[in-house]
Amino acid sequence: MKTKTPWLFILFWLFVSFLTLFPIYWLFVISVKPAVELFSTPEVLLTKVYWQNYIDVLNDATLRRYMMNSLIISSCNALLCTLLGFLACYALSRFDLGGKESIFFWTITNRMAPPAVFLLPLFLLLTQVYKIGDFSLADTRTGMILVYCTFNLPFAIWTLRPTVDGIPKELDEAAYVDGASPFKVITEVVFPLARPGLAVTLILTWVFAWNEYLLAATLTNFNARTLTTGLSEYVTTTGTEWGIMAAISVFTLIPALIVFSLVQRHIVAGLTFGAVKG
């Protein structure tokens, strides 16, 4: 509503951004220092830049494969969870299902389990139970996509529920009156209105899958290893390769940023109300 540029406001954001960025800047600093310089009095500003870590990372074919696995697993998982979560929320919101509030609460309990102890049953299930002939889900991307649903699907349902509930029922009722099919109502009436919520859910489920470490470390061996498990390979008894780890992390920011910018537009595609002020 105001027309003049809010300088104070921008100053505030610059400050917040500084706090946010400093650790990331430091990550970059670590990535462009030779290991020998890490254990000495720190300098805030970089004086010289050492690119060898990046060259090493770029030349490593294994890492590219891990990056690909990470991208595929987290993207498929995020899409799957957002879609299923959206449908589940629509069901919970629009249908008079018996015990639906209990089901809603139950879904989230799947995310609460302390992960360390669930690794053993998941390992046993994937290697020995959920298999057909010689094909088991262990060490496959499909397996990881499904396993990640245990924490991402509840998350999707919980973040989407307020959004779907907030879309007035009158809208889809009107569409039904006009003779639309449930499919049409979901895709053409509810979906567009839920877009900001869906975008946020997609981003965050993607992030959770992208960053997951413990499950991937235990349940993958050769074929479906992800970048985070690759990182742990640099923590060794003869020296943690901080520089390489940092360089890989800087690289992981790139695909993440692309995914973010693709999805973020849809958050703003929602309306912004000048009236809502803090």
Partner 1 sequence: MKIANKLGASVLALIVATGGAFADDAFWAEAAKPYQGVVLHGVTESTPPSNYVKDVLAPEFEAKTGIKVEIETTSWDQMYDKAIKDMEAGTGIYDMVYIEQDIIYAYLSRDFLVDTTQLLKDHPELKAPTYDEANFTTFANYFKGDKGDLFGIPMEAFIKVYLYRTDLFNDPEVQAAFKEKTGKDLKPATTHEEYTEIADFFTQWGKDHDEQLWGTTAQAHTGHPASWYEFFESVAPTYGVYSWGIDAGNNYAASVANGGTMNSDEAKAAMKWWLHLRDVAPPESNQSTWTEVATTFAAGRAAQGLVYGENAAWVASDETKSRVVGNVGVALPPLSDGVLADAESGKGYIGYYDGGAFGLPVTSKNKEASMLFLEYIAQNEVQPDWAVAGSRITNTATYDDPKVQDLDKKLNGYFTMLKDQGRLFAGAPAYPFHAQVREATAPIFYQILTGAIDPDTGLDQMAAKAEEELTALGYRK
Partner 2 sequence: MQSKTLGWLLLAPTLIILFFFGVVPFLYVLWVSFHQWNPFAADPGMSFNWATNYRQVVFDAQFMASLGVTAAFVFFAVVSELIVGYLLAQAFMKDFPGKAIFRTIHTLPLIMAPIIVGSIWKLMTTPSIGIIPHLLHNWFGYDLNIGQSAAAAFIVTIIMDVWHWTPLVTLTLIAALVSLPPDPFEQAQIDGANKRQIFWHITLPMIRPAILATVFIRLMDALRTVDEVLMLTGGGPGSATRYVGVHIYKEVFPRTNYGYGSAISVIVLYLTIVACWLLYVSLIAPRTSKKG
Interface contacts to partner 1, rule CB under 8 A: 34-36, 38-41, 52, 56-57, 59-60, 62-63, 119-120, 123-124, 127-128, 138-139, 217-218, 221-222, 225, 229-230, 232-241, 244
Of partner 2, partner 1, none, which one sits near residue 140, judging by CB under 5 to 8 A according to partner kind?
A: none
62 binds, among partner 1, partner 2, none (CB under 5 to 8 A by kind): partner 1
- Rank residues 60 and 125 by Cβ distance to partner 2 and give the closer one: 125
Nearer to partner 2, 51 or 106 (CB): 106
CB of residue 222 vs partner 2: minimum separation in angstroms? Answer: 20
Closest CA relative to residue 205, chosen from 167, 253, 150: 150
Q: What are phi and psi of 66, to 5 degrees?
A: -60, -40
Counting contacts by CB under 8 A, is residue 144 touching partner 2?
no
Among 57, 67, 153, 247, binds partner 2 (CB under 8 A): 153
Task: Indicate which of partner 2, partner 1, none lies near residue 45 (CB less than 5 to 8 Å, by partner kind).
Answer: none
Shortest distance, position 275 Cβ to partner 2, whole Å? 4
φ and ψ at 202, to 5 degrees?
A: -60, -45
Our finding on whether 39 is near partner 2 (CB under 8 A) is yes
Side chain identity, residue 244: I
The correct pick among 57, 73, 147, 224 for binding partner 2 (CB under 8 A) is 147
Contact flags string 211-250 toward partner 2, x per CB under 8 A = x-xx------------xx--xx-------x-x--xx--x-
Our CB check for partner 2 shows the closer of 236 and 272 to be 272
Distance between CA atoms of 51 and 39, rounded to whole angstroms?
18
Question: Does 175 sit near partner 2 (CB under 8 A)?
Answer: no
Identify which of 86, 213, 218 has the alpha carbon closest to the alpha carbon of residue 161: 86
The torsion angles phi and psi of 8, rounded to 5 degrees, stand at -60, -40
Question: In angstroms, what CA-CA distances link 37 with 51, 231, 238, 245?
Answer: 14, 21, 17, 15
Does position 67 interact with partner 2 (CB under 8 A)? The reply is no
135 — phi, psi (to 5°)?
-90, 115
- Give 218's contacts (C-beta < 8 A, 6+ positions apart): 119, 122, 123
- Confirm or reject binding of residue 192 to partner 2 (CB under 8 A): no
User: Is residue 34 a contact partner of residue 243, using CB atoms and an 8 Å limit?
Assistant: yes
Backbone angles phi, psi at 239, to 5 degrees: 125, 130
Residue 79, interface with partner 2 (CB under 8 A)?
A: no
Reported in sequence order, the residue ranges of the chain that DSSP labels E, i.e. its strands, are 131-132, 135-136, 235-236, 239-240
